[in-house]
Amino acid sequence: MSSLHLKLVTPEQVVFEEEFDSLTVDTALGQITILPQHAFLVSALVPGELIARKDGGEQFVHISGGFLTVEPGSRVTILADAAERIHELDEKRAQEAVARAKRALAEEKMSAEEVAETEAALSRSLSRLQIVRRHGRRSRSVPGQDVETIS
């Protein structure tokens, strides 16, 4: 079976670079699934979930936005603002961040730029919270892979 070569990169690190059967990501135009031999694509990513599937297993990663390219040869590159694997997400921290952002938007006088930054932080925090609640803290790991050692 053909596969996708995914390289997930943040400003700090290469999060992982490996082969997968399919990928599902949240783009500015909605959620898409990428399979081998996908057409060329460049897309903006919004805060949301990356689901990477391989051999019946799944890995869940929170993406805080960025860009995705699909190139000939089934090469996929994600340049993410930030990426956190499911085991790195903390429900309590996400809840606190949501509450802080909502309070700031409701109470503080802010410039248009500050409002935009706070709304973006709220969107990222809500996305993290949704992923943690949907999947818990553990990925159904890809057979033969230890989720902790993928970086």
pLDDT at residue 67, as a whole number:
97
Residue 103 backbone dihedrals phi, psi, to 5 degrees: -60, -45
The answer to whether residue 30 is domain-embedded is yes
77 and 114 fall within a common domain: no
**Residue 40: predicted pLDDT:** 96
Helices then strands, counting H and E runs in the chain, come out as: 2, 8
**pLDDT the model gives residue 122:** 74
Cβ(4)–Cβ(76) below 8 Å:
yes
Q: Is residue 63 part of a domain?
A: yes
pLDDT tens for 60-105 read 898 989 999 999 889 999 999 989 887 776 777 777 877 888 888 7
Residue 47 belongs to some domain of the structure: yes
142 lies in some domain: no
**Nearest residue to 6 (alpha-carbon basis) of 82, 62, 71:** 71
Per-residue pLDDT at 140: 41
Helix H segments across the chain? Answer: 91-107, 112-135
Same domain? For 68 and 110 the reply is: no
Shared domain for 52 and 112, answered yes or no, is no
The pLDDT value given to residue 89: 67
Pair of tokens at residue 25: 């990501």
Q: Kindly state whether residues 83 and 34 are assigned to the same domain.
A: yes
Identify whether residues 50 and 76 lie together within a single domain: yes
Q: Are residues 60 and 113 in the same domain?
A: no
Same domain, 76 and 94: no
Task: Give residue 72's domain range.
Answer: 4-87
* One domain for residues 83 and 116: no
Does residue 140 fall inside a structural domain? no
Same domain, 109 and 54: no
- How many structural domains compose the chain? 2
- Give yes or no: residues 96 and 72 share one domain: no
- pLDDT tens, position by position, 100-151: 888 887 877 888 888 888 787 777 777 777 777 777 654 444 433 433 322 2
Residue 42's CATH number? 2.60.15.10
Per-residue pLDDT tens over the stretch 27-52: 999 999 999 999 999 999 999 899 99
Query: Which of 54, 87, 120 is the last residue before a domain boundary?
Result: 87
